[in-house]
Amino acid sequence: MSITAEFRVQPSHQGAPGLAHGGVLATALDETLGSLNWLLRTIAVTGRLETDFLRPVPVGTTLHLTAEATAVAGRKIYSTATGRIGGPDGPVAVRADAVFIEVKVEHFVNHGREEEIRAAMDDPDQLRRARAFEVNP
């Protein structure tokens, strides 16, 4: 199972002058990897994210991201991702390996900030949808 995405590096994503901040790139990889969990119909959180920065990514660049689930073992979902510059077949600028841990929706209720929990409770469909999503096919 795999997914592709694009991330456009904006001036607000700058770290060193003219270049993307590594934390922003790690976030783009994490979000792409996390999207795999939706395809697996699993609620999961990042347990480990190991990121390698291979090339600088200039502001204004479109990062072409691909992610793939490589294994599932119990509650652990193993995945890998790459971010390429210059096009989907361009050189790899960043890559990441991750382990996601399957959780129940109550994880967010028990550990989330009270304001966000109240907001979710104001939208009863949101909690119902999350609970219905817990069942793996």
- pLDDT band for 19, please (50, 70, 90 cuts): very high
Sign (positive or negative) of CA dihedral 21, 46, 129, 108: negative
Averaged over 17-29, what is the pLDDT?
97
The pLDDT score that the predictor gives to residue 46 is 95
CA–CA distance, 18 with 11 (Å, rounded to integer): 8
Q: Where are the beta strands (DSSP E) in 41-136?
A: 44-53, 62-73, 76-84, 92-102
DSSP-derived letter for residue 68 is E
Which is higher by pLDDT, 104 or 111?
104
Q: Is pLDDT of 128 > 60?
A: no
* Average pLDDT along the chain: 86
Confidence of residue 91 (pLDDT cuts 50, 70, 90): very high
* Listed range (18-32, 37-51, 112-126) with the worst mean pLDDT: 112-126
Residue among 2, 22, 3, 21 at smallest CA distance from 13: 21
66, 129, 107, 109: CA torsion to nearest 10: 130
Rg of the chain over all Cα atoms, to the nearest angstrom: 17
The pLDDT, as a whole number, for residue 77 is 96
**32-41 burial by CB neighbour count: b if 16+ within 10 A, else e?**
bbbbbbeebe
